[in-house]
Amino acid sequence: MEDKIRRIGVLTSGGDSPGMNAAVRAVVRTAISYGMQCVGIRRGWQGLINSDFVQLDAASVGHIISRGGTILYTARSEDFMTEKGRLRAVSTCKMLGLDGIVAIGGDGTFRGALELSRLGVPVVGIPATIDNDVGCTNYTIGFDTACNTAIDCIDKLRDTMQSHERCSVVEVMGRNAGFLALYVGIAIGATAVLVPERQLDFERDVVERIRSARLAGNTHFMIVVAEGVGSAVEIGKQIHEAIGIEPRVTVLGHIQRGGSPSARDRETATRMGYFAVRAFHEGRGNCIIGTREGEMVELPIEEALAMKKHLQMDRYKVLETVSVSVPKPRADLDG
**pLDDT tens-digit readout, 286-312:** 999 999 988 999 999 999 999 999 998
- Same domain (yes/no): 247, 274: no
pLDDT of residue 143: 98
Q: pLDDT tier at 321 (50, 70, 90 boundaries)?
A: confident
Q: Are residues 24 and 82 in the same domain?
A: yes
| Residue 319, domain member (yes or no) | no
Pick the range with the lowest mean pLDDT from 116-125, 245-254, 272-281: 245-254
Question: 11 with 131, same domain?
Answer: yes
Same domain? 77 vs 105: yes
pTM summary value: 0.93
Q: Residue 195 sits in which domain range?
A: 144-257
Per-residue pLDDT for 332 more than 70? Answer: no
Give the pLDDT band of residue 2 (cuts 50, 70, 90): very low
The CATH number given to whatever domain includes residue 181 is: 3.40.50.460
Same domain (yes/no): 206, 273: no
Mean pLDDT of 219-243: 94
Average predicted confidence (pLDDT) for the chain? 93
DSSP one-letter string for 89-126: HHHHHHHHT-SEEEEEESHHHHHHHHHHHHTT--EEEE
The predicted-structure confidence for 96-120, as pLDDT tens digits, reads as follows 999 999 999 999 999 999 999 999 9
CATH of the domain at 93: 3.40.50.450
Q: Which of 16, 99, 107, 131 is catalytic?
A: 131
Number of folded domains that form the chain: 2
Taking a C-beta distance cutoff of 8 angstroms, is the pair 48, 79 a contact? no
Asked if 107 and 221 sit in the same domain, the reply is no
What does the pLDDT average to over 269-283? 97
Structure confidence by residue, pLDDT tens digits, 144-163: 999 999 999 999 998 887 77
Query: In Å, how far are 62, 201, 325, 328 from 316, measured between CA atoms?
Result: 41, 15, 16, 25
pLDDT at 1 over 70: no
Rounded average pLDDT over 263-289: 97
* In-domain check, residue 328: no
Active site residue 131: yes
Give residue 335's pLDDT: 37
CA distance 237 to 230: 12
Is 76's pLDDT higher than 90? no
